[in-house]
Structure 1
Amino acid sequence: MIQDKTLKDIKKTTHSKETIIELKNVCKSFGDNAVLKGINLAVEKGENLVILGRSGSGKSITIKCLVGLVHADEGEITIFGNDITNLKESDLNNIRVRIGFLFQNGALYDSMTVRQNLEFTLKHHSPNATSNEVNQAILEALESVGLEEAIDKMPSELSGGMRKRIGLARTVIIKPEIILYDEPTTGLDAITSREISELILYVQKKYKTTSIIITHDMACAKLTGNRIMILKDGVICAEGSYAALEKSKDEWVRSFFI
């Protein structure tokens, strides 16, 4: 397990002043339900941004808009300097291949072994990779999450925490520049949740990723976030470090930290 001092050092030294992701006045409604009412945020290269909010506040919709899984009704979404709201699908796909997405349940294929899950993802991303390159990439990804021994297991043989780790291995195997984490510690016990949070920091350092982390887990937010934003009623209502927001004069903001 990574030591606390190392974790603090990682959070202090991994990001630089270069904006990789930017949302300007992004709005999204589903029928009469306005979920996003003008989201504005920017994420610097190498930064871990945590987004908090009550259920239904639009956290997951925000990151789905970032990869075009959901199309924003209004506003600009700029990634790597490109406004994706104006891109053709082929151009959008060129950006998507630079982004990893860790879903809540890990989203592993139940009929495939761990090896096959990772191989499928890598071959889809890099169809010209040789067998040796594929094998090396699989071993490196599994080593990164500490699960080399699970390579030939089926997902049904893995615990919830192990499935999350394999899901993360499958995400990092394509060496993404951005990772979007959707509730990475949901359903896990406190010890396993901390291990996943530490892995998020390890991945940030090793692969120099820029990440947005959607979570209800305040321990995860405190450990992983260089910066935290809080969504309320479809807009960002507060922003800052964990320590600053914990001491906010706004009672609603403080309620997250109780």
Structure 2
Amino acid sequence: METMAKNTLKTGEHPNHQPLIMFKEVYKSFGANNVLNGISFSVNKGENLIILGRSGSGKSVAVKCLVGLTKADKGEITVMGKDVTKLNEQELNQIRMKIGFLFQNGALYDSMTVRQNLAFTLEHNNRNLSKAEVDTAILEALTNVGLADAIDKMPSELSGGMRKRIGLARALIIKPEIIIYDEPTAGLDAITAREIIELIRSIKVKYNATSIIITHDLTCAKYTGDRIIVLKDGIIKAEGSYDDIENNTDEWIKSFFQK
């Protein structure tokens, strides 16, 4: 991984200075379990924000609140200028249609071919496309992740890394304004993880994508993130560049870097 250049944005140096996402004092509890405890952060246009934390830190709950799958108990979550905590289901769906997701396991429909998986997502978002337009979009998305030759394969025929790539093609096919990556390198060998990291970096450049990357993988954080926030017990423990986080003197944060 030494040959890969790090992103070098420092805290406050955000591309274009246009926040697309803002959390303001967001709280979420499940019974007596306080998962989010007043977190505040923003994601700017063209930025890759890493949310780093161990299991149970609140990373996934924050994203579920972002897209309205879970309702925050308190606070504001603004996405593309709209407070999602105040939207109805129809309005939330309009927001969701502009967000691409790469789920941890790829989340492909096992009974559908790769072509059918991508077509289903595209047609769900835009029902007015012709068959030719759908076919062109599918081929373009698969080409962008290097798997055009897998178009008629079943998910069971794909490796874990290939499933991640197809999942990413499915996220890209709707031309999203925001991409959310959920543990994109989890469960992959080092070589395949590196390929996914390179793909995330290239997508940022090609699509000018605005992304949230949920991970506990320091290598992924180092090479894909412009900025990192570290969550612990539902609070933001640290924020900054990878170097800022690595040089943090807090003992708990230092433990991330101890082998």
Q: TM-score range by the shorter chain?
A: over 0.9
Q: Which amino acid aligns with 2:84?
A: I
Does the 8 Å contact 2:29/2:73 carry over to 1?
A: yes
1:92-126 Cα deviation digits (max 9, x unpaired): 11111111111110000000000000001001011
In the other structure, the counterpart of 1:59 is 59
Partner of 1:141: 141
- In structure 1, what is the Cα distance between the partners aligned to 2:15 and 2:143? 24
1:14–1:204 contact (8 Å) kept in structure 2 = no
Does the CA contact (< 8 Å) of 2:19 and 2:45 recur in 1? Answer: yes
**How far apart are the structure 2 equivalents of 1:34 and 1:4?**
38
Aligned-partner Cα distance in 1 for 2:120–2:93:
18
Correspondence for 2:219: 219
* Distance in 2 (alpha carbons) for counterparts of 1:159 and 1:54: 26
Question: 2: distance between equivalents of 1:240 and 1:160?
Answer: 31
Partner deviation per Cα, 1:186-239 (whole Å, 9 max, x = no partner): 100011111111111111111111111010111101010000000012110100
Once the 2 structures are TM-superposed, how far is the Cα of residue 252 of structure 1 from its aligned partner?
Answer: 1.2
Contact 2:115 2:151 in 1 (8 A): yes
Q: Which residue of structure 2 aligns with residue 130 of structure 1?
A: 130
Q: Deviations over 1:21-74 (max 9, x none)?
A: 000111111111111111111011000000111211110111111101111111
Partners in 1 of 2:41 and 2:231 — Cα distance?
Answer: 11
CA RMSD of aligned residues (A): 1.8
Structure 2 residue identity aligned to 1:116:
Q
Equivalent residue, structure 1, for 2:41:
41
What residue ranges of structure 1 are gaps of 5+ in the alignment?
none
Any unmatched runs of 5+ in structure 2? Answer: none
1:74 aligns with 2:78: no
Does structure 2 conserve the Cα–Cα contact (< 8 Å) formed by 1:106 and 1:164?
yes
TM-score (norm 1): 0.95
Write the deviation string for residues 69-89 of structure 1: whole angstroms up to 9, x where unpaired: 111111000001111111121
* Count of paired positions: 255
Query: Could you tell me the TM-score, scaled by structure 2's length?
Result: 0.95
SS at match of 1:16: helix
Look up the match of 2:96: 96
Amino acid at match of 1:56: G
Paired position in structure 1 for 2:189: 189
Q: Contact conserved, 2:102 with 2:181, CA < 8 A, in 1?
A: yes
CA contact (8 A) 2:4 2:223 kept: no
The letter for the 1-side match of 2:242 is: Y
Q: Letter of the aligned partner of 2:20 in structure 1?
A: I
Map 1:148-163 → 2, pairs under 5 A:
148-163=148-163
Superposed displacement of residue 14, structure 1: 8.8
Q: Structure 1 stretches (4+) deviating beyond 3 angstroms? A: 11-14
Identity %: 65
Amino acid at match of 2:178: I
Structure 1 residues 8 and 36, CA, compared in 2 at 3 Å: closer, same or farther?
closer
Displacement of 1:138 in angstroms is: 0.3
Q: Which sits farther off after the overlay, 101-110 or 87-96?
A: 87-96
Q: How many Å apart are 1:15 and its aligned residue?
A: 2.6
Q: Does the Cα contact within 8 Å between 1:48 and 1:211 map onto a contact in 2?
A: yes
Q: For 2:149, what is the secondary structure of its paired residue?
A: helix
Change (3 A) 1:14 1:40: closer
Return the offset for 1:8: 4.8
> What is the distance in 2 between the residues matched to 1:15 and 1:196?
23
